[in-house]
Amino acid sequence: MTKKSALQKARAAYQPKLPSALWGAVKAVEGEPTQSVADQEEIKKLFPNTYGLPELTFEKSAKTGKALPINVGVILSGGQAPGGHNVISGLFDGVKAINKDSRLFGFLMGPGGLVDHNYMELTAEIIDQYRNTGGFDIIGSGRTKLEEPEQFEKGLEILKELNIKALVIIGGDDSNTNACVLAEYYKAKNAGVQVIGCPKTIDGDLKNGLIETSFGFDTATKVYSEVIGNIQRDCNSAKKYWHFIKLMGRSASHIALECALQTQPNYCVISEEVEAKKLTLNDIVADIAAVVAKRAANGNNFGTVLIPEGLIEFIPAMKALIAELNDLLARSPEFATLDAEAQRAYVIANLSAENAATFESLPVGVARQLSLDRDPHGNVQVSLIETEKLLSEMVGKKLKAMKEAGEYVGKFSALHHFFGYEGRCADPSNFDADYCYALGYNAAQLINCGATGYMSSIRNLTKPSVQWIAGGIPITMMMNMERRNGKMKPVIQKALVDLNGAPFQKFAQHRAEWAENTCYVYPGPIQYFGPAEVCDQPSRTLYYEQGGK
């Protein structure tokens, strides 16, 4: 057995707090039939058996007596997010509460484990080793996209063999889209397997009115904010560096915005604003350079700039380029066989003149990254693009020109950071520990009431956990049609930063002051033991979204 840290030992004893609706027997109360967020006719046609289901809310029930034992499978899908182990331990405790002879099987290394029949039984002894810990190492994760009937059939073989009646897929928007497709497929053929999704992603972009946040966002942003705070303190002590900090979050800028709200940096780019205002890379660079110059004029040759990982895809010219590249690469199987130089020439020769010009204007490394392999869901691997270096280099050049024009006097020395993987496997905060455990336990209740094609939903999250509302949301409700790999596909709509929403408005109200002055906040490390106002704070995003001032 591996050696445990003192914190690990102490955290193992933490008992996550369940919403009171889930204490003891529950009954599911049905709401109104639902509709998808957009493209209703197409989605209805694609999901005839799982479209329009009612929202479910759990209430305490006076019913006694045990249900029959049930075998359940679980899959961790996509990027790691703090709290995954608690979803699994909540699910385990939930299925055991249904009947102590129920069994839980974990498919290994993501959805691929289902297709390839790689699994392990999760016993109480194993589960107890992982309660309240970060990481997905209990069964591993992967990004195999479940979309072909052959994969569903291979999966069904092992589900039947293990007598598994329900499968829980813990994943982000793409993985829950797959969960929905799988639920529809098994329902259509009366396979006798229910499929339930759980909202996971540090990116925070899997949310809507009924899914208030995805798990992992709270912990990951607290970890990044701690380190940004430390950098800011260093920066305010030495007063000689500008720190360009890229933050994970493939698409939406929720992570950058949350960290900005927690730490009050001098500058934070919000990709959604860049897109809405149709800003170019040069506009962003000019804006940052103006902040650097203004601070320098006040004698402050230091500062912090937060950059969301997904920025590149939101700059309108880049977005158009990536969309055309996606289509081009999807219909060019020969592309992968070419060497780097030939690939560049191929792209330039086959893109429209405008997009080819944008492609050629980029630093060669960035351009190459855009034309490399997509992940299995067709996404550009933005975490590999060094936007922080690209921006600081361009800011440096701009400042040089400003200096020559007599518009800037100062020193500009830049350092670079990328915070992403550091936060994805941290021990879950109390919020994520409780939220995840409740999501898993609640998934067991959804299974028990026969639901399929639902996402486990726990709401009212800024209230104490006993007051949280538990239930299920039909996944089809979150879907719309989008172009992926050159084809229109039904997918869960991503929740981007709402520029009219309270979190962004709060940031917009203060950013000029944070830019010019030094208003840094130092959040410090996540606290697991101590007063509730230190240990149980929800994210600023959730707090402002739910009316906090």
Residues carrying an active site annotation = 203
Judged by beta carbon, residue 227 or residue 248, the one nearer ligand FBP is: 248
Q: Are 270 and 257 in contact (CB under 8 A)?
A: yes
301 binds ligand FBP (CB under 6 A): no
Q: Are 224 and 255 in contact (CB under 8 A)?
A: yes
Please give the structure tokens belonging to residue 119: 């699994």
Collect all residues with Cβ–Cβ distance below 8 Å to 227 and sequence separation of at least 6.
417, 419, 422
Judged by beta carbon, residue 360 or residue 373, the one nearer ligand FBP is: 373
In the region spanning residues 419 to 478, those forming contacts with ligand FBP, defined by CB under 6 A, are 424
78 binds ligand FBP (CB under 6 A): yes
Helices of type H across 240-386:
254-263, 271-276, 281-297, 316-330, 340-350, 353-361, 364-371
Judged by beta carbon, residue 203 or residue 272, the one nearer ligand FBP is: 203
Judged by beta carbon, residue 79 or residue 453, the one nearer ligand FBP is: 79
In the region spanning residues 177 to 236, those forming contacts with ligand FBP, defined by CB under 6 A, are 201-203
176 binds ligand FBP (CB under 6 A): no
Judged by beta carbon, residue 81 or residue 167, the one nearer ligand FBP is: 81
Judged by beta carbon, residue 167 or residue 290, the one nearer ligand FBP is: 167
Q: Would you call 312 helix, strand, or coil by DSSP? A: helix
The CA angle 372-378-379, to the nearest 5 degrees, is 70
Judged by beta carbon, residue 184 or residue 309, the one nearer ligand FBP is: 309
CB of 247 to ligand FBP, least distance (A): 9
Total Cβ atoms within 10 A of residue 293: 18
CB of 383 to ligand FBP, least distance (A): 4
- How far is residue 126's CA from residue 211's CA, in Å, rounded to a whole number? 30
| HSE-CB of 197 using CA atoms within 13 angstroms | 31
CB of 96 to ligand FBP, least distance (A): 28
Of the residues 22, 91, 382, 542, which one makes contact with ligand FBP according to CB under 6 A: 382
79 binds ligand FBP (CB under 6 A): yes
The CA angle 197-423-305, to the nearest 5 degrees, is 120
Q: Are 16 and 92 in contact (CB under 8 A)?
A: no
The residue range among 57-65, 76-84, 146-154, 435-443 that interacts with ligand FBP, by the rule CB under 6 A, is 76-84
Q: How many residues bind ligand FBP (CB under 6 A)?
A: 14
Q: Would you call 482 helix, strand, or coil by DSSP? A: strand
Give strand ranges (E) for 99-150.
Answer: 103-107, 119-121
Query: Between the CA atoms of 117, 216, 380 and 253, what dihedral angle is there, to the nearest 10 degrees?
Result: 160
Of the residues 369, 383, 460, 480, which one makes contact with ligand FBP according to CB under 6 A: 383
- Residue 114 φ then ψ, to 5°: -70, -45
Of the residues 106, 135, 140, 249, which one makes contact with ligand FBP according to CB under 6 A: 249
261 binds ligand FBP (CB under 6 A): no
Q: Are 265 and 304 in contact (CB under 8 A)?
A: yes
Binding track over 315-344 against ligand FBP, x by CB under 6 A: ------------------------------
Binding track over 267-296 against ligand FBP, x by CB under 6 A: ------------------------------
172 binds ligand FBP (CB under 6 A): yes
Binding track over 88-127 against ligand FBP, x by CB under 6 A: ----------------------------------------
CB of 145 to ligand FBP, least distance (A): 11
For residue 202, which of 381, 81, 309, 379 has the smallest C-alpha distance? 81
The residue range among 74-82, 346-354, 503-511, 533-541 that interacts with ligand FBP, by the rule CB under 6 A, is 74-82
248 binds ligand FBP (CB under 6 A): yes
- Residue 30 φ then ψ, to 5°: -85, 135
Q: Report the DSSP pairing between strands 414-419 and 242-247.
A: parallel
Judged by beta carbon, residue 159 or residue 322, the one nearer ligand FBP is: 322
Residues written for the chain? 549
* Inter-CA distances, 163 with 105, 185, 473, Å: 10, 18, 26
49 binds ligand FBP (CB under 6 A): no
- How far is residue 305's CA from residue 313's CA, in Å, rounded to a whole number? 19
CB of 396 to ligand FBP, least distance (A): 26
Question: Applying CB under 6 A, which residues contact ligand FBP?
Answer: 78-79, 81, 172, 201-203, 248-250, 309, 382-383, 424
